[in-house]
Amino acid sequence: MAVIMVEGFDKYGPANSNSTSVTALMVGEWTTITAVNIAAPLSATGQAVTNGGAMTLTKTITAVGRIIGGVRFSSVLTQNIGVQFLDGASSQCGIQIAVTGIINLRNGFYTTGTILGSSASAISANTTHYLEWDITLGNSASYNVYLDGVSIISGTGDTTATANNTISGVSLQVAAGTNLATFDDFYLFDSTGSTNNAPLLTSPRIETTAPLSDSAVQFAIGASVLGGTVARTTTNFSTAANQFYVRPFTPSRACTINSISISVNATSATVNLRPVVYSDSSGVPGSLLSGGSTVTGITAATIATLPLTTPQSLTAGTQYWLGYMADIAVTNAFQAYDASAVGRTATSTFSSGAPGTAPSTTAGQTTVLLWGNVTLASAANFYEVSQSPPPAADTSYVADGTVSDEDLYNFANLSAVPASIYAVAVKAFCKRSDSGARTVSLRMKSSTTDGGGSSTGQTPATSYAWIGSNFETDPNGSIPWTGVNLNAATTGIKIDA
């Protein structure tokens, strides 16, 4: 093993200031997730992470005596940020990007430990750099810290603060504040193996791709969804008496919508809700397509699902309006989805039922976190597993319990064929349906060779979490990856036992 971890921070979806949601999305990939938000990327594609407070993002690893890695970063330089190397919960050493712009390697905690070395010059605020390290753990051990591919700190010294000459965790940290630092394109190597055992020094980046179509599927579709299910903001939306609320959706595939679900923030035992589906009429809701009977009561942190009396078929590429009617005001009843404010509201008497023609609505309303629970007109397993970000619940998934069954998907091409591919990781957001035994492996099929990478026979948790497997070489011949071969390879998941 040489690659311990690669993390592009792209798989958690668009910008997200709801740290609770982000934590749920990062489970499995990271061990400790505190005050992490998703931000625009520092490199070409995807996303990055920023701090939503005093940020700690820690990865627990198998103990190593030498740690190699890198991360792209940008800092406002108003708070300490850094990389902390941990032995259990104890600090061994850390790299500090101080508010002065000077970079320090310290024994112990990254902001207060004894300085082992400092950069000769300071970085400027809000500039993006690639920081790398090659640190041996010991009382008199070598260290080297690089900035943008150039060594800025090197020497020999005490890189440990515990009795162990190892680390078992790496943590990205921001001392305080909000949106004061951004991290992207993170990798960790150890010094074993014949490749990926030294700092890359090439401003490396991590590009994440997702399934585009099915290649060979055996898993069954468990649930399909229209719309995102993860809150990207912390704001809420209140119902009003006789409120009519809709927001637009455009399905990418033909489907039938069976019910509408809403993410609930507040409890009300008496509120009455009714789902509504309207056609689009020149950009506003038009005719009623389907409605449902009354559902009474909502409970905080529990999804409210409103069944449609008659499931409604939806055409791919056509805009529809999904929403609800409510009879009474409930303060902060529902979570907001994001800050787009594409909702529309009107006043419509609840007891009169869903109007056949939508009333005149007021635009610019909060985008409520609601979605459609659908059945695809034609099965497409890639659809369920390529929603972005991955749903944190059983709203969109495929499932299988038969040993040797395998789903393989065609993936999007890299944005450009790179000169070098150091490694590829496959990451899956998955779980077991119950506590029974079940193991899986993540697959990469290149030409006719189907491999499981660095980790097979993995047991998913009983709650959704990321599992991963590294493919440092192309399984077809165990040769270095090329962009062409990676683009052509299919990737998926297999039931091992």
Partner 1 sequence: MAVTQGRFSSVVREALNASTGQARLAGIVREALIVGVGLAGRISAQSSAKGAVTTTTAGVVLLGKIAATSSARASAQLRLNVAGTIKASATAAGYFLESASLAGRIATMSSGAMLRVGQVAVAGAITAQSKASAVVNLQVGGLKRQWGVTINTG
The smaller minimum CB distance to partner 1, of residues 120 and 269, is found at 120
Confirm or reject binding of residue 492 to partner 1 (CB under 8 A): yes
Q: Are strands 81-87 and 141-147 parallel, antiparallel or unpaired?
A: unpaired
127 counts as binding partner 1 under rule CB under 8 A: yes
Contacts of 35 (CB under 8 A, 6+ apart): 19, 51, 52, 53, 54, 55, 56, 174
Cα–Cα distance between 463 and 440 in angstroms, integer?
15
Task: Give the footprint of partner 1 on residues 26-55 (CB under 8 A).
Answer: 43-45
Looking at the DSSP assignment, which residues form a beta bridge with residue 129? 73
Site string for partner 1, 132-161 (x = CB under 8 A): ----------------xxx-----------
**The residue count for the chain:** 497
Min CB(209)–partner 1 separation in Å: 5
Q: Which tokens hold the place of 348?
A: 């419509």
Structure tokens that stand for 300 in this block: 């905080």
List the x/- string, 349-388, binding to partner 1 by CB under 8 A.
Answer: -----------------------------------xxxx-
11 is a site residue for partner 1 (CB under 8 A): yes
Residue whose tokens read 């950009």: 283
Single residue of 141, 206, 326, 354 touching partner 1 by CB under 8 A: 206
Report the alpha-carbon distance of residue 15 to residue 232 in Å, rounded: 7
Closest distance to partner 1 from the beta carbon of 160 (Å): 28
Among 400, 406, 450, 474, binds partner 1 (CB under 8 A): 400
- Is the distance from CB of 339 to CB of 15 less than 8 angstroms? no
By beta-carbon proximity to partner 1, the closer residue of 208 and 361 is 208
- Residue 464 CB, shortest distance to partner 1, in Å, is 6
Of 400 and 450, CB closest to partner 1: 400
φ/ψ of 203, rounded to 5, equals 50, 55
CB 20 within 8 A of CB 36: no
Rounded CA gap, 424 and 3, in Å? 10
Q: What is the DSSP letter of 56?
A: E
Show the binding pattern over residues 435-474: x = contacts partner 1 (CB under 8 A), - = does not: xxxx-x-x-----------------x---x----------
Structural Rg of the chain based on CA atoms: 25
Q: What angle do CA 293, 298, 301 make, to 5 degrees?
A: 135
Could you tell me which residues are beta bridge partners of residue 261?
A: 305, 371
Q: Does 414 bind partner 1 (CB under 8 A)?
A: yes
Residues 156-195: x where in contact with partner 1 by CB under 8 A, - otherwise, as a string: -------------------------------x--------
Interface region with partner 1, contact rule CB under 8 A, candidates 248-256, 292-300, 368-376, 429-437: 429-437
**Could you say which residues in the range 225-284 bind partner 1, by CB under 8 A?**
none
Residue 210 touching partner 1 (CB under 8 A): yes
Binding to partner 1 (CB under 8 A) within 214-233 occurs at: 219, 222
Least Cβ distance, residue 92 to partner 1 (angstroms): 25
Structural tokens at position 67: 């740690």
